[in-house]
Amino acid sequence: MKLLTKEIISKFENHPFRSQEEKGFDAEVLVKYFNPMGAGTWLITEAEREGDDWRLFGYCHLFEWEWGYLMLSDLQNLKLPYGMTVERDLHISEHATVRGLAKY
């Protein structure tokens, strides 16, 4: 599955770092990535290009929920059992918020 589309790039370009900082849990989720095999959910709220890659910021869950940064290439290169990869949630609403998607 493609983790980056033209639509997502457009959202990233319109939401650089600190653009949603004051919204907190009411920040719009630009894209939701998840591990289909278990732990790992990334609710991305802001992003900036770094060379050929994207540095992402959002509310993430591996062992517990926390705000943080990660590189898109790290998600793309994550190798899961049985040849699975990180996936993009195709079914979140257009104006989904962190509050609406995270269980914190």
Segment 45-102, tens digit of pLDDT: 999 999 999 999 999 999 999 999 999 999 999 989 999 999 999 999 989 999 999 9
Domain boundaries, the chain: 6-101
Identity of residue 55: R
Tell me the pTM.
0.94
pLDDT surpassing 60 at residue 104: no
- How large is the C-alpha radius of gyration of the chain? 13
How many angstroms separate the Cα of 71 from the Cα of each of 18, 28, 34, 53, 82? 17, 19, 14, 7, 23
What pLDDT, on the 0 to 100 scale, is given for residue 45? 98
